[in-house]
Structure 1
Amino acid sequence: MILAIVLALVAFAYAVPSPVVSRNASLNASQFEVKSLPGANFLSPSWAGLILVFGTADGNSLFFWLFEAENRAYDDNLVIWLNGGPGCSSLIGFFLENGPTKLGHALYVDQPVGSGFSTASQPNPVNNNERITSDFYSWLKAFYQVFPHLLEKKMHLMGESYAGVYLPYFASRIMENHDSLAVNLTSISIGNGILDNNTAMTDVTVGSFMKLNAERLGMPQNILDTFSAADRTCGFDSVLEQGSKYPPPQAPINILGNPEHLNFKRQAHGNKLSARRFGPEAECDLKPNTSAAVTSSILNSTCYGSCATFSTAGDYLDTLSESRGDIWFNFYNINYNCTAIDPTAKLTTYLNRADVQKALNVPQYSRRNGTYPFQSCNHKLIQSLTPPYSQSEPPAYSVLPTLISKHKIPVHIYHGALDMLVNHVGAELVLQNMTWNGQQGFQQRPNKPFGTMTTTTTQISPRWRGERKWATAADEKNNTRPAAGVWTEERGLLYHLFHEAGHGVPMDQPEHMFNYVRDVVVGRT
């Protein structure tokens, strides 16, 4: 497997206008064949390169990497994987999470234009979801012209994070235009996805998430009490109470207010954006370390605005990490300890090698070392496509329900319980507030166990002293290993919660994720 050479890799893209192939060129699959890959002893048959997005300005193209199914028993499936960002390369998913797959043909696409190896006609190519959806659908039609034998396969759209926005809209466009392109869309699967507005998925629920994981996070009781008091002041407590009921109240749950202007302003500070927009740095307490400072940051911050529980939580945990040597905080998986490796730099270096890019049929450029400047995420796209700069209707409002109820497309939602960036409490609140096939929310709490944990799970931080979810040698001997997670299924919607996984479930729990794709995503259809 390719992962043997690059187990620690990740990266994302810069928008650079460029010639790809002539609009009049006759494309065929042989032009995209990947004959070898530097450092890889074995490579499944695959095809990679750039295909233009027709109907748009010159220079807009999407990069893809297609792998033939390793197990012919699953030859009738095509799994399309998308990473999020927005504006991050799906090669992250390939190198760090999935690789080639035995469960069907696997297609990784860098989109929207300007992300990963994909090119764009201008530095800020897209700023709304409608354009992204149109581009992807136009590109998909061109892709099937090159690989027509795949059109009959069962398509499974799958991805994580901001792909929670992409995938429902892409699926909707496919189903609405089925007469003109008969795609056999069979399921969509969203991992740790953005399904609703940022208020519901972050500020409303982060206090509850921290309370559930207080010992893992090393948070003292007085700070937890401070966040609980803020939840009452902001009206979040009543929202959480309604969202925790199974079945839920049969009326939409009102998500109050507009905390942080629906924007991750903490990230904006990290990117060193204009102080004129977010207030002088001197006026911001970015290192709250007392109850009073936490309260002030949540309710009265000149940087974040009122009810900024999410940004304040991140600032507090960063401050706690700095003041104590035994704590290391990571939004993507709160269980990662100080020995966890950041794979981004190595992946970026590898994918910027001229021999690697040549192998992947990426056009060579006469600049510096002659390679295309690959980056894992295009931060201009992230800024232009996230609130308040860009607004699109959250998929949970109508797009997802329509896919399930009208088009009868099975929808799979899975989540890692240790992800604080897009936490599972928020995802469950959103699902309890969503109406599909005539009813609102799940009628029963997710409680069916699946899988069993092994001793080789996510690294456990030395700060953790709470109830364990992982297995010990004694568990192995006594055959009493705890479940890998819990799940439920109602009216065409499935939800799986993986106990010992963060934002990237396939990376944290590869065995259980493989079983999930085999038995749930592919096996149920």
Structure 2
Amino acid sequence: MKGLIIILLAVSIVVSDQNPIFLNETYYSGFINVTQKSDLFYILFESRSKPSTDPLLLWLNGGPGCSSLLGLFEENGPFKINNDTTLNNNPFSWNSKANLLYVDQPVGTGFSHAGPGDLVKSEEEVRQDFYDFLTQFFDKFPQFIGREFYISGESYAGQYIPAISRKILSEKNPKINFKGIAIGNGWVDPYYQQPAYGQYAYENGLINQTEYKSVSNYFSICQVLIKVGSPYFLKSHFCDLPYEKIVGNNTFNVYNIKQPCIGSGCYDDQDQKIENFLNRTDVQSLLGTQSRVWNACVNNVYASLQKRGFRSSTQDLQVILNSGLKVLIYNGSLDYQCNYIGNEQWLENLSWKHQTEYVKQQYSSLQKGDQTIGREKSVANLQFQIIFEAGHMVPMDQPEIALEMINSFLQN
């Protein structure tokens, strides 16, 4: 009898929901404990196409400490939020041909809870917590065992995704049919991405030549300090100072240089709409989050990982690429914060078995009908795309193009 009760409880946990509030999308939500005191919140949306056979696609936002529900509601999820905190259908949702999973991580992010002493301080801790989450997730949703699995995300997820992916590869878990990763506007290698702030600003008319020469001197010192592994306070001073000189003297939106910046995060009005929606008592009841307070980005999670901000994730990416996993790196051309110039440079200097071929490869145009929508270069299992007229959040600025991009990636 006791065994029957346990089985029934397990089944009840994973029963899907449909509700008019969520426009009758089929979804699952809940919490999975990664330590005795801490858990990760997830919400999973079934594919709009073939949920029983379509791949499982994970999405992670960055920060560090920013909720993946930002991606859900602002970028590539099934909904957009109206001003009256109701939802509107997003025809370009990434669950068009994939089962789409959002996770608030690391612990303490979004709806996820961090117990005393459990805030992560390194990518090693991030990947261990997330691997613990994944193993329990596949046990909880056995329909995804052996199904093609992909990880996607943006910004500081350029640190998370390679670390988590390398952990998955090392574990060789037969339940996880890991196929590839997609990183958008990623923060991957500060050695190359820090000086790119000056070059991008100059090439896009955000600073003049005199200002460019001035900040370039600081960025040169910044690079040396990163290379020799100097103390954090030194790197922070010489790397942050020229960045602040560029941004502080301008009013441009660092996430899209052609758009206005509203509030300290530039998209504060959109973040507030998400917060208002998630604070609705009926929404909290549906998600099981009645005892939780959601924040778009959590300061103590950021502070706990802040000193890792000068880390490179390229060693992890070398392992991933050499393993044969598919890798898509993409950038919006209008993003300053993690701009394409910095990503171009770390990709050119990434040591892996097809590096020589990649460096020799020329860009080709990305076309949508007669329209040129970007450029790309692709060698073996690595693909790099620059999407025109898009900023840091490519699926928000170019939703149709972003959907075609991810579907093409998932379907080879």
TM-score of Structure 1 vs Structure 2, range by shorter chain: 0.7 to 0.9
Deviations 1:454-484, CA, capped at 9 Å, x for gaps? xxxxxxxxxxxxxxxxxxxxxxxxx853x11
The residue number in structure 2 matching 1:105 is 99
Offset, 1:33: 4.0
Cα RMSD (Å): 2.9
The residue number in structure 2 matching 1:451 is 367
Offset, 1:386: 2.0
The residue number in structure 2 matching 1:337 is 260
**1:433 touches 1:440 (CA, 8 Å); kept in 2?**
no
1:498/1:391 Cα in 2 relative to 1: closer, same or farther (>3 Å)? closer
1:352/1:134 Cα in 2 relative to 1: closer, same or farther (>3 Å)? same
**Aligned pair 1:51/2:43, yes or no?**
no
Offset, 1:51: 1.4
**2:328 touches 2:383 (CA, 8 Å); kept in 1?**
yes
Deviations 1:224-280, CA, capped at 9 Å, x for gaps? 33213542x3574xx9xxxxxxxxxxxxxx943359x797xxxxxxxxxxxxx99xx
CA distance, structure 1, for counterparts of residue 13 and residue 299 of structure 2: 31
CA distance, structure 2, for counterparts of residue 98 and residue 493 of structure 1: 23
Offset, 1:353: 1.8
1:434/1:305 Cα in 2 relative to 1: closer, same or farther (>3 Å)? closer
**1:29 touches 1:47 (CA, 8 Å); kept in 2?**
no
The residue number in structure 1 matching 2:378 is 489
CA distance, structure 2, for counterparts of residue 174 and residue 33 of structure 1: 27
Offset, 1:411: 0.9
Offset, 1:102: 1.2
TM superposition score normalised by structure 2 = 0.85
SS at match of 1:142: helix
1:91/1:33 Cα in 2 relative to 1: closer, same or farther (>3 Å)? farther
Offset, 1:444: 3.4
Percent identity, aligned pairs only, is: 30
SS at match of 1:51: strand
CA distance, structure 1, for counterparts of residue 359 and residue 15 of structure 2: 49
Equivalent residues, number? 385
Deviations 1:197-246, CA, capped at 9 Å, x for gaps? 2x4212x11121012211xx4x5xxx333213542x3574xx9xxxxxxx
Deviations 1:72-94, CA, capped at 9 Å, x for gaps? 18833110111111111111111
Letter in 2 for 1:140: L
**Aligned pair 1:188/2:181, yes or no?**
yes
CA distance, structure 1, for counterparts of residue 239 and residue 25 of structure 2: 52
The residue number in structure 2 matching 1:522 is 410
Which of 296, 301, 308 aligns to 2:241? It is 308
Q: Structure 2: which 5+ runs fail to align? A: 79-94
The residue number in structure 1 matching 2:326 is 410
Structure with greater helix percent: 2
Deviations 1:11-56, CA, capped at 9 Å, x for gaps? xxxxxxxxxxxxx97653532445345644x222110011111xx2
1:416/1:374 Cα in 2 relative to 1: closer, same or farther (>3 Å)? same
Which of 57, 81, 85 aligns to 2:59? It is 81
SS at match of 1:335: coil
Letter in 2 for 1:166: Y
**2:331 touches 2:392 (CA, 8 Å); kept in 1?**
yes
1:32/1:224 Cα in 2 relative to 1: closer, same or farther (>3 Å)? farther
CA distance, structure 2, for counterparts of residue 131 and residue 306 of structure 1: 26
SS at match of 2:344: helix
Offset, 1:427: 0.7
The 5-angstrom pairing of residues 460-479 of structure 1 reads: none
CA distance, structure 1, for counterparts of residue 239 and residue 332 of structure 2: 29
Offset, 1:107: 0.7
Structure with greater strand percent: 2
CA distance, structure 2, for counterparts of residue 391 and residue 39 of structure 1: 39
The residue number in structure 2 matching 1:266 is none
Which of 294, 313, 316 aligns to 1:395? It is 313
The residue number in structure 1 matching 2:389 is 500
CA distance, structure 1, for counterparts of residue 411 and residue 313 of structure 2: 25
TM superposition score normalised by structure 1 = 0.68
CA distance, structure 2, for counterparts of residue 307 and residue 62 of structure 1: 32
Offset, 1:132: 1.1
118-127 or 343-352: which moved more? 118-127
1:34/1:336 Cα in 2 relative to 1: closer, same or farther (>3 Å)? farther
1:134/1:441 Cα in 2 relative to 1: closer, same or farther (>3 Å)? farther
SS at match of 1:451: strand
1:34/1:356 Cα in 2 relative to 1: closer, same or farther (>3 Å)? farther
CA distance, structure 2, for counterparts of residue 343 and residue 116 of structure 1: 15
The residue number in structure 2 matching 1:150 is 144
1:392/1:59 Cα in 2 relative to 1: closer, same or farther (>3 Å)? farther
Which of 403, 417, 421 aligns to 2:337? It is 421
Deviations 1:281-334, CA, capped at 9 Å, x for gaps? xxxxxxxxxxxxxxxxxxxxxx9447832121011113xxxxxxxxxx111111
**2:65 touches 2:298 (CA, 8 Å); kept in 1?**
yes
**1:83 touches 1:92 (CA, 8 Å); kept in 2?**
yes
SS at match of 2:324: coil
CA distance, structure 2, for counterparts of residue 74 and residue 506 of structure 1: 25
**Aligned pair 1:383/2:303, yes or no?**
yes
SS at match of 1:145: helix
**Aligned pair 1:317/2:309, yes or no?**
no
Which of 273, 277, 283 aligns to 1:350? It is 277
